[in-house]
Amino acid sequence: MAKVVREELIRQLASGQFVSGQFLAEHLGVSRAAISKHVKALGEMGLDIFSVQGKGYKLAHPMQLLEQEKISQHLQTLGAQNNVEVHTIIDSTNSYLMRRLPNQVTHGQVCISEYQSAGRGRRGKQWQSPLGSHLYMSMYWYLEQGMAAAMGISIVVGIAVADVLKGIYDLPVQLKWPNDIYVDGAKLAGILVELEGQSIGPGHCVIGLGLNVQMPDNSAAEIDQSWTDLSRELTENIDRNLLTAQLIAQISKRLQQHHQFGLAPMLDDWQKQDYFYNQNVLLLAGDKTTRGICKGINQSGALLLEVDGKLQPVYGGEVSLRAG
C-alpha cells in the first residue's frame, strides 16, 4: 500500500505545481497525517518537497518522469525493439532481472526505475539512487556462446555509453577500467555486470548502468569520491526518456557487435578514451598493491599493466585501479 501511495504522490507532484494535502488525502483514500508521513519518506528518497500552509505540497523543481510509452517510441525510431519496463520504486534494477532468470526475461529486456532502495555498485558498494534524479537501468543479455562470452562486456557497455554521450551530446568522456565513465577526472557513471550459469552451456548476463543526471545536494554529501553529473557538464536540458532510449539502442548495438566479432574491433575506441592510458597506476587486489603503467586492454578486456618492463594481463574481479 505504501508503495502505491508514494508512486501516485510522485505523479501528482511531478509538474512542480502546488497540490493540496486535502486533495491528495481524498484522491488516495488516506488521512492527511498519512500524506504527511509519505511526503517525508519521499524527501528521504531524494525529492525536494516543501509545503506552504493553505496551498499544499510542491516540488522545488518540476520533474520529468520516465515513461515506458515514450521510451518505446524513441526506441522504435532508433530501430531497436527492446522490451522495456519502467518502475517508480524498486530495490535494484539488476536484482529485479536476476530474480526473473531464466524463464521470465527476454533477450535485450530492460528494467528502469526512478528510485532504487538497494542500488549496488561493484565490490558490494552502495550506489546512491535518489528519486527522479538520474538513470538507473539494467539489461538482460542471453549468452548463447556460454559464460566465456561475458569477457569484456563491461568494456563494451562503457564504449556504448561513450558513443552516446560523446557522439550525440559532445561530452568528452573518459573510460576507466573496468566499469566507470569519467569526465575531467570525476565519476559520471558506473556499470555492474552480473552473471548466472554453468561453465558449459549458455549463460545469462544482467548489465546495470547508473548515470548521474542531476545530483541532489543531500545525496551528494554521502558520496566519498569525486563525481559529476550531466546538469553540470551540459548547458542543454536533458530529456531522460530520449537519453534512455539512445543508451538502450547503442548498448544493444555494441553488444551485438561483440557477439559477432568479439572485442578486437573496439580496442581502438577504448584506447582513445582510456582514462589511465600510459599513466602510472596502483592496482589494488585485496591486501595486495601493485604499481605499474597502464597500457590499455587486450582482446579479452583484461587490463594490460606494465610492471618492471613486462606486460601483465589483469582480469576482472575484486580489483581497483587508481592513479599512481
Considering 70, 120, 187, 254, which one is annotated as catalytic? 187
CA distance 29 to 23: 10
Q: Where are the domains of the chain?
A: 2-59, 68-271, 276-323
* Catalytic-residue membership of 187: yes
Phi, psi of 164 (to 5 degrees): -70, -50
Query: What pLDDT sits at residue 215?
Result: 79
CA distance 267 to 221: 36
Phi, psi of 303 (to 5 degrees): -70, 135
Query: What pLDDT sits at residue 226?
Result: 85
Which has the closest alpha carbon to 120: 93, 145, 154, 144?
Answer: 93
Query: What pLDDT sits at residue 220?
Result: 58
Which has the closest alpha carbon to 94: 247, 248, 208?
Answer: 208
Query: What pLDDT sits at residue 163?
Result: 98
Helix extents (H) in the chain: 2-13, 21-28, 32-44, 68-77, 93-99, 153-167, 217-220, 230-233, 240-261, 267-272
Domain 2-59 class?
A: mainly alpha
CATH architecture assigned to 68-271: 2-Layer Sandwich (3.30)
How many Cα atoms within 13 Å fall on the side-chain side of residue 4? 5
Please state the pTM of the whole predicted model.
Answer: 0.90
CA distance 289 to 48: 42
Considering 11, 55, 99, 322, which one is annotated as catalytic? 322
Q: Which three cell numbers stand for residue 63?
A: 520533474
* Catalytic-residue membership of 322: yes
Task: Determine the CATH number of domain 276-323.
Answer: 2.30.30.100
Helices 21-28, 2-13: axis angle to 10 degrees equals 140
Considering 70, 122, 240, 254, which one is annotated as catalytic? 122
Per-residue pLDDT of the chain (324 residues; tens, 9 = 90+): 688 899 899 999 988 899 999 999 999 999 999 999 999 988 888 888 889 898 999 988 888 899 999 999 999 999 999 999 999 999 999 999 999 999 999 999 999 999 998 876 655 566 567 787 889 999 999 999 899 899 999 999 999 999 999 999 999 999 999 999 999 999 999 999 999 998 788 999 999 999 999 876 666 556 667 899 999 999 988 999 999 999 999 999 999 999 999 999 999 999 999 999 999 998 888 788 889 999 999 999 999 999 999 999 998 755 677 776
DSSP calls for 156-180: HHHHHHHHHHHHTT----EEETTTE
- Length of the chain as a residue count: 324
Answer for the pair 262, 293: CB distance below 8 angstroms, yes or no: no
